[in-house]
Structure 1
Amino acid sequence: MTEKNILAYFKTPDEAQGVARKLQALRVADMSIDRFSAYPGGELNNTMHPMTGDIVSLTSMTLNSSLTNRSSGILGAVDPSASGMSDGSQDGPDGRDILLTVVLDENVFHQAMSIIEDAGGMV
């Protein structure tokens, strides 16, 4: 039995979970749903005042990113998503920060691809 893998990007966890339920019927070998970000440190969950708080960078204010040092803050701030100086669209997975990873038998690969694409996933 030869296996293939699929990396599919979605806009919401609910979209990915809906597809995952449908793919379970194909008896996948392994599957995971993860959120990814271009910024290290995860989400910033504490409240801060922009005038008096210790703000690492523009990224912490605009993208809710908990950057750990000044250098990564500077790099994050040049991203169009943080500055608002561009729409940020470079033909990438815009707004698709949910990754569905699937490992399955190659006999059902095309069927799985159809399920993903019909649900709006980007492969």
Structure 2
Amino acid sequence: MAEKSILAYFHSLEEAEGVASKLRALRAIDVSVDRFGKYPGDGVDHVMNPITSDFPGLGYLTQSADFDSRDAAVLAAADVDASGLAGGAESDLTGRDVVLAVVVDESIYEQALRVVHEGGGIP
């Protein structure tokens, strides 16, 4: 029994979880859904006034990042995303910060790919 894997990117956890449940119904060997980002941390979880509050840096405010290293925080603040004016090049993956990883038997690989596409994922 040969196995194949698929990595697919989604806009939301709900989209990915919906596809994951369909893949489980197809008897996928392993299915995992997770959110990822360019910077570490879970994001800012409280409202604060940047003028009066103590915060670790610009990257914390603008990119919801939680840095262990001051050097990493400085580099994030230098990123064009920190200014809020970044246009950036659009790609098919823009705004897709949820990844679904699935391992399936080779016999259902094509069917699993169709489920991912129909559910809005990009492999």
Category of TM-score, reference length = shorter chain: 0.7 to 0.9
Mean Cα deviation higher: 27-36 or 56-65: 56-65
The residue aligned with 1:118 is: 118
CA deviation string 1:34-93 (max 9, x = no partner): 111111133222443201222222221122222233211122223333322322335362
**Alpha-carbon distance in 2 for matches of 1:47, 1:86:** 24
Q: Does 1:7 align with 2:7?
A: yes
Structure 1 runs not aligned, ≥5 long: none
- SS of residue matched to 2:102: strand
Count of aligned pairs: 123
Residue 113 of structure 1 and its aligned partner are, at CA, apart by 0.7
String of CA shifts for 1:95-122, please: whole Å, max 9, x gaps.
Answer: 1111100000011111111111122101
Tell me if the contact between 2:62 and 2:84 (Cα under 8 Å) persists in the aligned partners: no
Q: Matches of 1:48 and 1:72 in 2, distance apart?
A: 22
**For 1:119 and 1:100, how far apart are their aligned partners in 2?**
11
Deviates more, 1:79-88 or 1:113-122: 79-88
Q: Percent identity?
A: 42
Whether the aligned pair in 2 keeps the contact of 1:41 and 1:68 (CA below 8 Å) is no
Query: SS of the counterpart of 1:73?
Result: helix
1:1-123 map, 5 Å: 1-89=1-89, 91=91, 93-123=93-123
Query: Taking structure 2 as the reference length, what is the TM-score of the superposition?
Result: 0.87
